A and B are shown apart, each in its own frame.
Chain A
Amino acid sequence: MSPDLLPPARELPPSRYRAARRQLERVASGAVRSWRWRIGQRTAAGLGVGVIVAGGAAAAAAAYLPSQRGQLTHRLDAVVAQYGRAVSTRSSQEDCASIGMTYAKGYLNGTSTPTLLASYTSSVAALDKWYYNQTVPIVPATNALEIRSDFNALTTGEAPTSVCYFLGPYGQVFRTPLHEVSADTSAVLLVFITGGRAYWAGTVAYPMPAVYQTPPSA
């Protein structure tokens, strides 16, 4: 079956190419701590994650009060309005953002059962703590690197991609394209990064692939 039949091959978009290459070079040069090192710290990490998760749960209980719910929905409405056009164009990342927002909004309107709601403050603080100070090393190296790269890109004004971060059941933090957001299982949405800005959009349910549902092995 000839490749001539297929859509023509493309180059990676320049921004993605540069970001990926820079990231890989940093990985190979050992500028980032290894997965083995991270695993070696898992006991302390587990404690740290436990504290953060417990804090997030407490914040969730408080934030989900009906009086605050309208405010959350309002904030989400603004984000959906900004990215709503993408639903109609079905164009890659914006499309993904809209779907994610749609489901997040569905939750806030009470159409699905919440499991946990993390506040923007605690989420970003947690990410900052985990990735800049590396106090919680139970993070797959690849995801940790991408998150760091995304946050660096935010601070330098180089728009990264549409991604969301969520907390795995064993305290791992994962990065995922927004299109993977669905409504039939649960996880914590920490923050969206899209169009060079970070948004908090409450909690969405997430279909976690099996690989994420197993604890990290030493």
Chain B
Amino acid sequence: MSSAFRDVPDHELWRRASDHDGPAFGELFERHSKAVYNHCFRRTASWWVAQDLTSVVFLEAWRRRRDVRMHSDSILPWLLAVANNCIKNSDRSIRRHRRLLAKLPPEGVTSNDEDAWTRIEDEAKMATILAKLNQLRIEEREVVALVDWAELGCAEAAAALSISEGTVRSRLSRAHEHLRELIDSDPDPLQHPLRGVGPIHEGA
């Protein structure tokens, strides 16, 4: 965070950015790009797609700057809501991409780039988790992504999704219940990719 903006709250930065203060917008990007990037990765299981989506989210946020909704002086919930919309639009293409990958003949791996390996492993792991999570309703997936993964509070998630806080809590509760059922119904629940996680673990 640059010293000039260290104590400036999000809402003030956003006001300045809306008045064409480029560095203020840059500061918002610095504060929140990592959260947006990782949120996009966790919804797409692709670092590459997430990189592109992160830029798109901020540009889309700028385009829709008159619709911004702050919560507790943080713009992050709204940015994640914009990210959700961007992700939804890209889903169809991403599904096609995966079908394409599946059609390619398997070949030996030649890369010795350790970071690339880690990223590929991350993507594979995330894809496994998402495949399981996709058995939930989309409304439940959204609250899991925002509350459990992005670690927003229920009130912030409610602001992001434009629903009441009570609805967030009930969706989250249902999502956890469904996840527990998924884990319990697995032939090998101890190896289930969703096992070992906070509220789900308690009932598993």
A→B interface (CB under 8 Å): 1-13, 16-17, 20-21, 23-31, 35, 85, 87-93, 95-96, 99, 102, 141-142, 145-146, 161, 176-177, 179-180, 182, 184, 207, 209-211
B55 engages A20 (CB within 8 Å) = yes
Residues of B contacting A93 in the complex (Cβ-Cβ under 8 angstroms): 48
Asked if A85 and B37 make an inter-chain contact with CB atoms under 8 angstroms apart, the answer reads no
Is the Cβ of B111 less than 8 Å from the Cβ of A89?
yes
Question: Among the listed A6, A24, A88, which residue makes an inter-chain contact with B126, where contact means beta carbons less than 8 Å apart?
Answer: A6
Task: Give the residues in chain A near B94, CB-CB below 8 Å.
Answer: 179-180
Among A24, A92, A211, point to the contact of B119 (Cβ < 8 A): A92
Interface of B is mostly: helix
Count chain B residues whose beta carbon lies closer than 8 angstroms to a beta carbon of A: 69
Interchain CA distance A24-B151 in the complex, whole Å:
26
Q: Are A10 and B38 in contact (CB under 8 A)?
A: yes
Bound-state CA distance A20–B148 (Å) is 27
Closest 4 CB pairs of A and B: A29-B22, A25-B22, A28-B25, A7-B122
Q: How far is the CA of A146 from the CA of B148 in the complex (A)?
A: 32
Chain B: minimal CB distance from A215 (Å) = 17
* Complex contact B93–A207 (CB within 8 A): yes
Residue numbers in B under 8 Å from A35 (CB-CB)? 63
Inter-subunit contact B46/A92 (CB<8 Å)? yes
Check B198 against A13 for contact (C-beta < 8 Å): no
Most chain B CB within a 10 A radius of its CB, from A7, A23, A90: A7
Q: Which residues of the other chain, A, contact B196 by a CB distance below 8 angstroms?
A: 5
Whether B59 sits at the interface, judged by CB under 8 Å, is yes
List 22 A-B pairs, Cβ < 8 Å: A1-B176, A2-B148, A3-B150, A5-B129, A5-B193, A5-B197, A6-B42, A6-B129, A7-B123, A8-B122, A9-B38, A28-B17, A87-B104, A88-B108, A89-B110, A90-B109, A92-B48, A96-B97, A99-B101, A142-B60, A209-B92, A211-B89
B150 contacts across to A, CB distance below 8 A: 3
CB atoms of A28 and B24 under 8 A apart = yes
Q: Which of chain A's residues have a CB closer than 8 A to the CB of B51? A: 12-13, 16, 161
Q: Which residue of A lies closest to B144 (CB)?
A: A1
Residues of chain B contacted by A176 (CB below 8 angstroms): 93
Q: Which residues of A contact B60 (CB under 8 A)?
A: 142
In the complex, A3 Cα to B21 Cα: how many Å? 34
Looking at the complex, which one of A89, A141, A146 makes contact with B116 (CB distance below 8 Å)?
A89
Nearest A residue (CB) for B151: A3
* CB interface residues, B 124-157, toward A, < 8 Å: 125-126, 129, 144, 148-151
**A21-B30 contact given A96-B48, A207-B93, CB 8 Å threshold:** yes
Are A89 and B63 in contact, with the CB atoms below 8 A?
Answer: no
In the complex, the chain B residue whose C-beta lies closest to that of A30 is B20
Evaluate contact between A85 and B149: CB separation under 8 angstroms.
no
